[in-house]
A and B are shown apart, each in its own frame.
Chain A
Amino acid sequence: MKNKILPISLILFFIIIFYIFYKGLEDSKIYTPNLNTTIKIPNFNIKDFYTNETIESSNIFKSDEVYLLNIWSSWCVPCRQEHPLLMKLNKELGLNIVGMNYKDNKENARDFLNELGNPYHKVFTDLDGTIAIEWGAYGVPESYLISDNNIIKKYVGPLNHEIIDEIKLLIK
């Protein structure tokens, strides 16, 4: 019996290891960011897109209002795709949409807004992408639904009709 303890425990040990690694195979290898946690919005200083004035974030986001922060760029094709939906959100719901122009050429960004319309109540410039990092962003486009100075929902990638319906429900 004593001689059998070692091989049995060895087999058991390898079965456990095999099970753990086999389970690990089922996990997604693609990184999926946590999109549902409520996080306080970061504090930062940012330049106004039109006036180039530096503004503190506390002067942009008021605690009793709902905002949608949209990170966009004129060189980003999906941003062009989602833009009509932002226009719709602004027109139909009057949602306070704040635009953050990410690593862009100002002239091109201006042309983009002139061509497709400006759904933003305020537009800011993030020339080197560091403010986007403050928000925990990965790139463009990305949108954050903000209520009471908290990020209540984060949307990575372009907005679509389903997301718009969800936003409508959330802000009700």
Chain B
Amino acid sequence: MKKLNIIIIIFLLFSLSNISAEELDKRNKITKNLRCLICQGQSVYDSDSEFANSLKIVVDEKIKEGLSEKQIYDYFKEKYGDWILYDPGINKYTYFLWLLPLLIFLFGGTIIYKKLIKKL
């Protein structure tokens, strides 16, 4: 009986740690993309400030509530604005940032293509 109890406990511990490992991965991913607004160049994941620690608790709560990554980002965006995200989506303030590399690539590509055509 004792052995069975131990096996059950070990099984439960393993299954519990599996769930929390998944949650931990999600939490780490999210907190790495959240900026610690009171720190200098640190993410919430890296920071141990009061603000970052509270944010980590809120992220945990939101994950437990079943919110998706996007929903959690939207929640923080609503509270603190786009600045809290390290990886903001395309909007009127960031479209240039997103499109610039593509424009440079196309521009450079055209120059190289034209030069190559000329040589051939």
Contact with A along B51-86 (1 / 0, CB 8 A): 101110110010000000000000000011101000
Q: Please tell me which one of the listed residues B51, B81, B96 contacts residue A138 in the complex, with CB atoms under 8 A apart.
A: B51
Residues of chain B lying within 8 A (CB to CB) of residue A18: none
Tell me if B107 is interfacial: C-beta within 8 Å of chain A. yes
Q: Are A6 and B111 touching (Cβ within 8 A)?
A: yes
Q: Which of A6, A31, A103, A136 meets B79, CB within 8 Å?
A: A136
**B83 CB contact (under 8 Å) in A31, A103, A130:** A31
Q: Which residues of B contact A133 (CB under 8 A)?
A: 54-55, 58, 79
Central interface residue in A6, A130, A134, by most chain B CB within 10 Å: A130
Contacts of B38 in A (CB 8 A): 138-139
Contacts of A139 in B (CB 8 A): 38, 50-51
- Among residues of B, the one whose C-beta sits closest to the C-beta of A137 is B51
Given the known interface contacts A13-B107, A138-B37, A139-B38, the answer about A132 and B54 at a Cβ–Cβ threshold of 8 Å is: yes
Secondary structure dominating the interface of B = helix
> Which partner residue on chain A sits nearest B52 by CB separation?
A129
Q: How large is the interface on A (under 10, 10 to 19, 20 to 34, 35 or more residues)?
A: 10 to 19
How many chain B residues touch A (CB < 8 A): the figure is 18
Question: How many inter-chain residue pairs (CB < 8 Å) link A and B?
Answer: 38
Is A128 a contact partner of B37 (Cβ separation < 8 A)? no
1/0 contact string of A1-38 vs chain B (CB within 8 Å): 00000100000010000001000000000010110000
User: In the complex, how many angstroms separate the beta carbon of A80 from the nearest chain B beta carbon?
Assistant: 17
B26 to chain A, nearest CB (A): 18
Q: Which residues of A in the span 110-134 have a Cβ within 8 Å of any Cβ on B?
A: 128-130, 132-134
The distance in angstroms between the C-alpha atoms of A139 and B80, with both chains bound, is 13
Q: How far is the CA of A6 from the CA of B53 in the complex (A)?
A: 54
In the bound assembly, the distance between CA atoms of A24 and B84 in angstroms comes to: 19
27 contacts between A and B (CB under 8 A): A6-B111, A6-B114, A13-B107, A20-B96, A31-B83, A33-B37, A33-B81, A34-B81, A103-B50, A103-B54, A128-B54, A128-B57, A129-B50, A129-B54, A130-B57, A130-B61, A132-B54, A133-B54, A133-B55, A133-B58, A133-B79, A136-B79, A136-B80, A138-B37, A138-B38, A139-B50, A139-B51
Interface residues, chain A, CB within 8 Å of chain B?
6, 13, 20, 31, 33-34, 103, 128-130, 132-136, 138-139
* A-B contacts besides A20-B96, A138-B37, 17 pairs, CB < 8 Å: A31-B83, A33-B81, A34-B81, A103-B54, A129-B53, A129-B54, A129-B57, A130-B54, A130-B57, A130-B58, A133-B54, A133-B55, A133-B58, A134-B79, A136-B80, A138-B38, A139-B51
